[in-house]
Structure 1
Amino acid sequence: MVGMGSHSGMTTLPAQGAGVPARAPSCAELVAAHPWQVTPLGPRESWDQAVRSTVDVVLASPVPMAMAYGETFVLVYNDAYADIIGTKHPAAMGCPAADVFGEAWHAPGFGDIVADVFRTGQSFLEAETQVSVPRAGHVEQASFTRGHSVVRDEHGTVVGVLTVAAETTHVTRRLQSLGELTARLASALTIDDVARVVLSYAMTSFDVDHCVFSVDDGAEFRYVRRIRGEMIDEADERLPPLWKRIPAEQPGSPMVTAAQSGRPSFVSDGSPLAEIATDRHERRIKALAAMPLRTASVHGALTMGYRTPHSWLPAERALLYAAAELVAQATERARRFEAQHGTAQLLQRSMLPEHLPELDRFRIAARYDVGVDGNAAGGDFYDAFELADGRLAMVLGDVAGHDVRAAAVMGQVRAALRALALTDSAPGTVLAGLDRLVGSLGAESRNEEIFVTVVYGVLDPADGTITLASAGHPPPVLRRAGHGSASAELVTVPPGAPLGLGGRWRTATVQLEPGDTILMYSDGVVERRDRPLSDGLDALVTATAAAASGDPRNLCSLATAAVSGRTDDDVAVLAVERAVALSRSATMLVPAEPTGPSRVRQWMTTRLRDWAVPEPVIGAAILCTSELTTNALLHAGTPAQVHIDLSAERLLVSVADTGTRGSVTRARTDALSSRGRGLGLIEELSDTWGTDPTVRGSTVWFEMLIPAP
């Protein structure tokens, strides 16, 4: 461990002194009571989420673990580690490693290893080390192998070093991977994320032929499987894992038995899956380990199997126990996150328009992406609606904050804006009314920190004129199609104070020519902590000008990725394009059955040929649409909606689902085609593509440019 001595020599750790209390506090209790505000970690309630998850994993682990945080390597460790360092515990908790271990920390092969891992970001596996460990009143010589991995915060910055120790020589080769498993599980937010990490870990670290990860789901279990030789490419990893279901009363299933009983089972040579085998892969398994995943809110199992006899040695079983404990804790955290995340996002999206207006000569699209903290609702919002005189009102705003209160204020502001605009749509009048509302909300809550910015405009479809006003919001981007090449620029809008401050707002006018697009966005698109705002604005303008087309859905997708680096903020984008000519569109509802993709292919072929689309475009579009439809039916288990829109310059196809993960029956899963090549095909054949979250599901879309005659 951190502080266990040189990897080439022998270190004697002090023995436990006399008079140790019979009931010493656990490390978890010490962590809860420690004054972290006086350490580089800071107050516990403000810890980075990834760091907090790492500490949770350390404290829950049955094997010795310690995290050395920051440049002074402040120690946070578990009970197994406390047994190793003897009388240095509990004073070592929360102290810099150099203060705890003194001169030994500066000896070769001790603190320098931890410092190198922290500085380089490279994991390090130490060879077996002889360590004197105090036990039961005497000192024993024990062999330890230590693996050191970096700890990263939510932004990917190295903030510490995680050390895992195992008192065995049989698991040396797998020790480093266990540390990496811990680090990867700490950043796994959803059960899908946990499944990806666990399956990858099992296949690479244990070199198994068969691995299954399962969790309880009502009266059933849902599981995801990985087998040797299965082609897993980047496209697969970006899609949700392919979940199947099995009844909770399934007889003869080692996975179900382990999950329900909480007891592991090991078969060294036999036919452990013979009673439930669904294919030749499962019938060939001879050796199987079934580890329960049990916490207060999770019942599940992790099974690993070999096609040849395999002796499950005690050291290997101990490693499996440790891995299963880590996976169970990560699964429980992921389940809590998904429950809170789902509630927050349902609240968020229920306050956003589910459908945007459809105009003859104007195309409208919007996008909302959650920030790094997807567990909370945010205050970004967009809206577009037709006024009584046929004009289009459009708005994009941002209420500061990432909680239910911000979402509630956002909902009030959006509702009030619609009411004001339908009465008197003049931008100055609407913003003045919203200013009074925000001021009133702040006074009622005795909170003067309500901060709301808005950019609001009214579009006249007759000539493409937009009248704009801004209340402290970033300026929109205008993309000019031009005759040769496209260009983009920031719209000059007179600056105005954010809402609630009693400001006055002036307007600006811009005209959309055929092919032009205006893009509104929240500050999360362009703001980054490590660079000036002007850099983000320049990057957005450059990306907009370089877009393959002015299609609003395409620009919304490009805008969310225009500025490099991660953002903590939510992102909202709204785009409106003035079409060069009227477009043609059609929609098909695809039934959730194996014949669905073939129906889509027939329907699209007929429709696109009637529209005189070039044959190469038809072939590529049908291939991509078939794959997307298969994926939507596969993962949602509900009907999918395919929408095609053809303009003079491009074909836009979108496939939307309204279901949830894991609701596909085994029969449908086996009948539908493979999903592995879907996104790869779209990347290869389309000019641009993207995914959009919706109120009740998700949409994947792609765009293909129509070659000039």
Structure 2
Amino acid sequence: MVGGAGGVSASVTPAVPAAAALVHDADWAGTSLGGRAGWDPAVAATVELVLGSPMPMAYSHGETFLLIYNDAYADLIGSLHPAALGRPAAEVFGELWRAPGLGGVIEEVYRTGRPYLEAETQLTVVRGAGGRPEQAFFTRGHSVVRDTRGAIAGVLTVAAETTQVTRRLQSLGELTAQLAGALTVDDVARVVLGYATTSFDVDHCVFAVDDGGAFRYVRRIRGEMLDEADERLPPVWKRAPNDPRAPLVAAATSGRPSFVSDGEPLRAVATDRHEQRVRALASLPLRTPSLTGALTIGYRHAHRWLPAERALLNAAAQLVGQAAERARRFEAQHGTAQLLQRSMLPEHLPELDTFRIAARYDVGVDGNAAGGDFYDAFHLSDGRLAMVLGDVAGHDVRAAAVMGQVRAALRAMALTDPAPPSVLAGLDRLVGSLGAESRNEEIFVTVVYGVLDPADGTITMASAGHPPPVLRRAGVAGGAPTAELVKVPPGAPLGLGGRWQTGQVRLEPGDTILMFSDGVVERRGRALNDGLDALVTVAASAASGDPRNLCALATTAVPGATDDDVAVLAVEHALAMSRSATMLVPAEPTGPSRVRQWMSTRLREWHLPEPVIGAAILCTSELTTNALLHAGTPAQVHIDLNAERLLVSVADTGTRGTVIRAHTDTMSSRGRGLGLIEELSDSWGTDPSVRGSTVWFEMLVPGRSAPTAADSPAD
């Protein structure tokens, strides 16, 4: 393939011979090297060294830097091979020859005779014929080759690829950044499993932490497909007995890492065929003052754990252990704060025939302290409904304590004299007294309080320095819904000795009123009116006036993060009485199938369209599976049907930590629930509660007639 005077031909055959064969078979008489028989012995020896080396090597001969290289170097230049053999380097590489770190370096070494070791550089390489360009890292050394007379004949280049090491070091930096944002042990688990599978291309990875007298762990294996919904769900934890034969237990309890290059490291404790196939395993301890755990990664083939790789894994394990300890401390503080906060809020809201109520409370960004936001709704002795939303300034236990006192006092006063001015006047005296007792005049409390008369939908309300509620009006005669801020007479915050006036608004059937705390609409660097306008716009564009839906939309109405707590309370005047049913699902593998049968019967009794029934059953089954799987406790499924929509909620009461193994193996696959809801429902959301959490979705039922008087409002 080499012409007499034209150098190496540019034609490429489907199967390119090895570089050594091309060099040996070529006719070099027409090049600056001359015929092979006349090559200087030192040059000939250098060429044979290059061709026989497994490292990428190239010899650049003479002032034109005629190229001779081996197969490893051919892989780096990709499609330039084999045409590059025997041609001047400047012609081969074109403009790239003048790029920093290539031609200029080789020319400098040739001219001065001084060797040069390049620091790691990033190059674009094409591996193999037809391969894709990719970024790779190399460290290259250049030295002159002298002929037998001592004159410089050319330059020898040796390239050592450091792509894998460099990328792993880069990924270690990325791991550090990701772990810094991991608030919970679940977050740490997700980050660690992703890091191990991406950076080390492992077949098996386990992250374990101590759990009482044993360990709980999360595993990732090669071939396990995880979609976006999977990643958003809590990882599935399993319990591992404290068996010293298990490498992860041995590493966790001893604090010493172990590396098996080839064998059956999991044979004594393997739970399935995936673990039986592991041949190489690294077990790294995670030890901190308050946490004991381990990280193991393995391969299904023999693997040499080189010193650099061991050092990298040990460094990663140190980072993971520290992050897991921080996460565990955060979870303890966060759980205590949330329990304190939510224990002061009503666990259940009142139920009325034609009025539906929903509320939501979200902690601030840090989620680490109790706050002063609160809401409440309760029946009065005359059948009316009292509803309130307030905010005590601060994000600490003191704010939560004041909030609890204000809420309790408000209930007591409202049950005696529910008139808004009377209630706010009593609360004003209470807050003033609390400030005087603590010698702190900075207790700042705002409240919006109203009394709803279910007979005609009239709400009489007053505000003590609180943002006005949003009123969503249903569209008239098929028109689009509208929303506006309720015109409530402004009043001074509590504790300042103010006087309050009342305003009235009437909820027509289909209307919804939304009370909210300032954390919903306030953002740093933005005007308050911008937040209020955004909330009004979202309320008007909501698919329905369902209070649960509006509460969820309100918490995300204003872009940007807030470090304040968020509380919302919504009340809807329903178009007609709704029908509802509730099922308590046991934490057993048969639970989802029971829910499917129960829902099928109920929804067909209610004469819903088959497409709605099928979609609702599918989504509810998946959510029930996820609730049972991740909480390990019974779940409560509630369905509510009114004239325009079907609302389904699935609530659990678990800690999302311990999972019974039988359930994990028997239940349907996890991870589809959220994706199905997004695709099949009109709106959905998650609501935290005093214990556990609730996931709900809403499906509109267009064209459905309202329930008649013969229909039972509840089943």
TM-score bracket for the superposition, by shorter chain length = 0.7 to 0.9
SS at the partner of 1:342? helix
Residues 662-704 of structure 1, C-alpha deviation per residue, up to 9 Å, x if partnerless? Answer: 2212111111111121110111000000000010110000000
Partners of 2:137 and 2:518 lie apart in 1 by 46
Answering whether residue 205 of structure 2 is matched by residue 211 of structure 1, we say yes
SS of match in other structure, 1:221: strand
Give the equivalent residue in structure 1 for 2:53. none
Deviations 1:578-628 (A, max 9, x none): 000000000000011000000000011101111111111100000000000
1:263–1:538 Cα change, 3 Å: same
Counterpart in the other structure of 2:195? 201
Once residues 532 and 618 of structure 1 are traced to their aligned partners in structure 2, the CA distance between those partners, rounded to angstroms, is 45
1:621-660 mapped onto 2 (5 Å cutoff): 621-660=616-655
1:602 and 2:589 equivalent? Answer: no
CA distance in 2, matches of 1:528, 1:504: 30
Give 1:178-193 correspondences, 5 Å limit. 178-193=172-187
- Please give the alpha-carbon distance, in whole angstroms, between the structure 1 residues aligned to 2:273 and 2:287: 30
Could you tell me how far 1:213 is from its partner in structure 2?
Answer: 0.3
Aligned to 1:274: 267
1:617 to 604, 612, 621: 612
Confirm whether residue 334 of structure 1 aligns to residue 327 of structure 2.
yes
2:538 corresponds in structure 1 to: 543
**Contact 2:179–2:320 under 8 Å retained in 1:** yes
Find the counterpart in structure 1 of residue 577 from structure 2: 582
1:283 pairs with one of 276, 282, 287? 276
Residues 245 and 269, structure 2, Cα contact 8 Å, conserved in 1 = yes
> Is residue 690 of structure 2 the alignment partner of residue 695 of structure 1?
yes
Match of 1:353 in 2: 346
Structure 1 gaps of 5+ residues are: 1-109, 111-123, 131-167
CA contact (8 A) 1:170 1:316 kept: no
Provide the rounded CA distance (Å) in 1 between the counterparts of 2:216 and 2:140. Answer: 42
Residue 535 (structure 2) pairs with residue 556 (structure 1): no
d(CA) in 1 for partners of 2:532, 2:596: 42
Deviates more, 1:672-681 or 1:510-519: 672-681
Confirm or deny that 1:171 pairs with 2:165: yes
Which residue is equivalent to 1:133?
Answer: none
How much does 1:127 deviate?
A: 7.7
1:243-254 alignment runs, 5 A limit: 243-248=237-242, 250-254=243-247
Residue 312 of structure 1 aligns to a residue whose secondary structure is coil
Are positions 1:437 and 2:430 aligned together? yes
Instruction: Tell me if 1:295 matches 2:288.
Output: yes
Shift of 1:274: 1.5
Alignment partner of 2:258 out of 262, 265, 268: 265
In terms of mean alpha carbon deviation, does 279-288 or 253-262 score higher?
Answer: 279-288
Among 458, 461, 480, the alignment partner of 2:454 is 461
- Tell me by how many angstroms 1:490 deviates: 0.5
**1:654 partner SS:** strand
8 Å CA contact 2:182, 2:188 repeated in 1: yes
2:536 maps to 1:524: no
**How far apart are 1:251 and its partner, in Å?**
4.2
1:592 corresponding residue in structure 2 = 587
Shift of 1:187: 1.3
Structure 2 residue 257 is matched with structure 1 residue 239: no
Q: Deviations over 1:142-171 (max 9, x none)?
A: xxxxxxxxxxxxxxxxxxxxxxxxxx9973
Q: Which residue pairs with 1:220 in the alignment?
A: 214
- Given that 1:471 and 1:496 are in contact with CA atoms closer than 8 Å, whether structure 2 keeps it comes out as yes
Which deviations, in whole Å up to 9, do the C-alpha atoms of 1:393-448 show, x marking residues without a partner? Answer: 00000001010000000000000000110010010110011011111111111111
Query: Which residue is equivalent to 1:385?
Result: 378
**Unmatched segments (≥5 aa) in structure 2:** 1-118, 120-134, 142-161, 705-715
CA distance in 1, matches of 2:619, 2:515: 30
User: Are positions 1:307 and 2:293 aligned together?
Assistant: no
Question: Comparing 400-409 with 179-188, which one deviates more in the overlay?
Answer: 179-188
- Counterpart of 2:371 in 1: which secondary structure? coil
Who is 1:152 aligned against? none
The answer to whether the Cα contact below 8 Å between 1:517 and 1:575 also exists between their aligned partners in 2 is yes
Q: Report how many residues are paired.
A: 550
**In 1, are the aligned partners of 2:285 and 2:293 still within 8 Å (CA)?**
yes
Q: Does 1:669 align with 2:654?
A: no
Distance in 1 (alpha carbons) for counterparts of 2:278 and 2:674: 32
**Deviation of residue 128 (structure 1)?**
6.8
- Whether the 8 Å contact between 1:364 and 1:575 is mirrored in structure 2 is yes
TM-score (normalizing by structure 2): 0.75
Any idea what SS the aligned residue of 2:532 has?
Answer: helix
| 1: CA distance, partners of 2:222 / 2:525 | 43
Deviations 1:526-559 (A, max 9, x none): 0000210111001100000110000000000000
Inter-partner Cα distance in structure 2 for 1:345 and 1:292: 32
Deviation at 1:707, TM superposition (A): 1.8
Q: Does the aligned pair in 1 maintain the 2:136–2:163 contact within 8 Å?
A: no
Check whether the contact 1:630–1:672 (CA below 8 A) recurs between aligned residues: yes
Match for residue 470 of structure 1?
Answer: 463
In 1, are the aligned partners of 2:446 and 2:464 still within 8 Å (CA)?
A: yes
CA distance in 2, matches of 1:371, 1:196: 23
Checking the alignment, whether the CA contact within 8 Å between 1:170 and 1:315 is kept in structure 2 is: no
Q: AA paired with 2:300?
A: R
Please say if residues 137 and 163 of structure 2, whose CA atoms lie closer than 8 Å, have aligned partners that are also in contact: no
Secondary structure in 2 aligned to 1:428?
helix
Determine which structure has more spread, i.e. the larger CA radius of gyration: 2
Q: Aligned AA for 1:412?
A: Q
Whole-angstrom CA distance in 2 between matches of 1:497 and 1:464 = 27
The amino acid that maps onto 1:281 is: H
Cα distance in 1 for residues equivalent to 2:343 and 2:671: 33
Normalising by structure 1, what TM-score? Answer: 0.76
Q: Which amino acid aligns with 1:177?
A: S
Shift in Å at residue 350 of structure 1?
0.2
Once the two structures are TM-superposed, the CA of residue 236 in structure 1 deviates from its matched residue by: 1.1
Give the Cα–Cα distance (whole angstroms) in 2 for the partners of residues 510 and 127 of structure 1.
Answer: 73
State which of 671, 676, 685 in structure 2 corresponds to 1:681.
676
Q: Which SS does the other structure have where 1:171 is aligned?
A: helix
Paired residue type of 2:695: V
Alpha-carbon offset, residue 173 of structure 1: 2.0
Asked if 2 retains the 8 angstrom alpha-carbon contact of 1:235 and 1:677, the reply is: yes
1:325 counterpart = 2:325: no
CA contact (8 A) 2:138 2:163 kept: no
Residue deviations 1:171-195 (CA, integer Å, cap 9, x gap): 3221111111111111111101111
SS at match of 2:342: helix
Question: 1:280 & 1:481 partners in 2: Cα distance?
Answer: 59
Q: How far apart, in 2, do the equivalents of 1:239 and 1:695 lie?
A: 20
Cα distance in 2 for partners of 1:694, 1:125 equals 51
Matched, 1:374 2:367: yes
Change (3 A) 1:409 1:170: same
Distance 1:602 1:343 in 2: 38
1:116-156 CA-to-partner distances (Å, cap 9, x unmatched) read: xxxxxxxx9998799xxxxxxxxxxxxxxxxxxxxxxxxxx
